[in-house]
Structure formats: C-alpha cells, structure tokens
C-alpha cells in the first residue's frame, strides 16, 4: 500500500512539474516598437535574450537607428549585447530577431539564417509591416519600450484669455499676492 501511495505521489509531482514547465515556456511579455509616432506590440518569446532585453527596457526605453537591407528587413546595432541561442530560422514578416548578439532585425519579408528569436509584431499584414517599418528607407528611428504610452506632443487650453489660475489649475477670480498663471505665463502679484 505504501509503495502504491509513493508511486502516485511521484506521478503527481512529475505531472505538476511538467505543467509548470510548459506554462513557463508559453508565458508572454509585450514589448512595443514606435516609429514616427506609431506604436505596434511585439509578443516576446521566452528565452535569455528577451529576459535580458526586458531588464534593460525596465530601466528606460531604447532608441536605435535602423536601415533597410536586402529587401526583407530593417536592422541595426542595439548599442549593447544580449545572450544568444542561435538556431536556423526561416524569418517571416513581423519577426523580431537578434543577429550576432548585438543587432536587431525586424522583418517585412523572409530570410533564412542562424538567429536568436526575440518575438513577433502582432497583427499586421506584410503590406502594413512594410509601411510601418518604412521598408527601403534608411536612418529609421525606432524606440523599443515596455509601455504603450506616447508622449504629449501638443497641449491646448480652453481657458479664457486674461483669466488667472492658481498653480494647481484652479481659476482665481480675484487674485491677491502670490504666483499665478495668466495666458500660459507665470505672473507674480
């Protein structure tokens, strides 16, 4: 009876361990690629290169300059190295690849080579990828980040001209002494 119980417990532990391993391999992390104010999500694969990249991006976004090459990719130096686990890959449109440990390649066409896979851009057709990635162009500024937020490029006020506002944005009808905002400028009374 004890032997049967031990066998069942061992089988249960092996089954749970295998399930946990499969879950760990399929965990997804998103990275975002921004080009000319347009942002696309990338689902990262689970490997040491992406873990190291995520650690780097947790500190700050990374901006790189990429160039078109070969009619199938934009690529360029990351400015730092990542661990490699190269394998022969038939890269497809949307694939984000690490080449030689320190170069990032983003594909809008296909190519076969020994690369480390980083991830894949979500949901764009080959035509949409070519437009987003500026296929055929040079000096493409690309920002990699873990956040899908964009910067504020323009702020307009609906405040009345000539009105005074406190520093916390509340309108002040009869300002006394102090620091106020009037017509977008600081005013000391």
Q: What is the pLDDT of residue 156?
A: 53
Residue 12 lies in a domain: no
Q: What is the pLDDT of residue 149?
A: 60
Residue 6 lies in a domain: no
32 and 125 in a single domain? The answer is yes
Residue 4 lies in a domain: no
Residue 84 lies in a domain: yes
Q: What pTM does this model have? A: 0.66
Q: What is the pLDDT of residue 59?
A: 94
Residues of the chain with pLDDT under 70: 1-28, 149-160
Contacts of 90 (CB under 8 A, 6+ apart): 110, 111, 112
CATH no. for residue 40? 2.40.100.20
185 and 115 in a single domain? The answer is no
Sign of the torsion angle spanned by Cα atoms 150, 152, 156, 159: positive
Q: What is the pLDDT of residue 11?
A: 47
Residue 110 lies in a domain: yes
36 and 97 in a single domain? The answer is yes
Residue 5 lies in a domain: no
Q: What is the pLDDT of residue 188?
A: 85
165 and 139 in a single domain? The answer is no
Q: What is the pLDDT of residue 4?
A: 55
Q: What is the pLDDT of residue 158?
A: 55
Q: What is the pLDDT of residue 112?
A: 95
Residue 40 lies in a domain: yes
Q: What is the pLDDT of residue 176?
A: 84
129 and 75 in a single domain? The answer is yes
101 and 180 in a single domain? The answer is no
89 and 126 in a single domain? The answer is yes
120 and 171 in a single domain? The answer is no
Residue 16 lies in a domain: no
Measured between alpha carbons, how far is 177 from 189 in angstroms, rounded to an integer?
5
Domain count, the chain: 2
DSSP string, 111-179: EEEEEEEEEEESS--HHHHHHHTTTT-SSEEEEEES------------PPTT-EE-TTS-EESS--SSE
Which pLDDT tens digit goes with each residue over 88-104? 999 999 999 999 999 99
Which pLDDT tens digit goes with each residue over 105-125? 999 999 999 999 999 999 999
Q: What is the pLDDT of residue 155?
A: 47
54 and 120 in a single domain? The answer is yes
Q: What is the pLDDT of residue 20?
A: 39
**Domain assignment of residue 58, given as a range:** 25-145
């Amino acid at each position: 009876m004890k032997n049967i119980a031990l066998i069942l417990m061992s089988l249960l532990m092996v089954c749970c361990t295998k399930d946990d391993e499969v879950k760990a391999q399929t965990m997804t992390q998103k990275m975002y690629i921004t080009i000319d104010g347009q942002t696309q999500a990338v689902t990262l694969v689970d490997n040491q290169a992406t873990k190291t990249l995520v650690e780097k991006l947790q500190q700050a976004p990374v901006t790189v300059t990429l160039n078109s090459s070969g009619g199938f990719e934009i690529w360029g130096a990351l400015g730092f190295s990542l661990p490699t686990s190269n394998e022969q890959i038939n890269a497809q449109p949307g694939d984000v690849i690490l080449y030689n440990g320190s170069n990032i390649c983003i594909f809008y066409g296909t190519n076969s080579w020994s690369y480390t896979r980083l991830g894949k851009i979500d949901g764009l057709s080959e035509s949409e990828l070519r437009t987003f990635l500026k296929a055929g162009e040079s000096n493409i500024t690309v920002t990699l980040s873990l956040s899908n937020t964009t910067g504020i490029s323009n702020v307009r006020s609906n405040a009345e001209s000539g009105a005074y506002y406190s520093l916390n944005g509340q309108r002040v009808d009869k300002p006394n002494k102090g620091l106020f905002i009037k017509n977008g400028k600081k005013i000391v009374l």
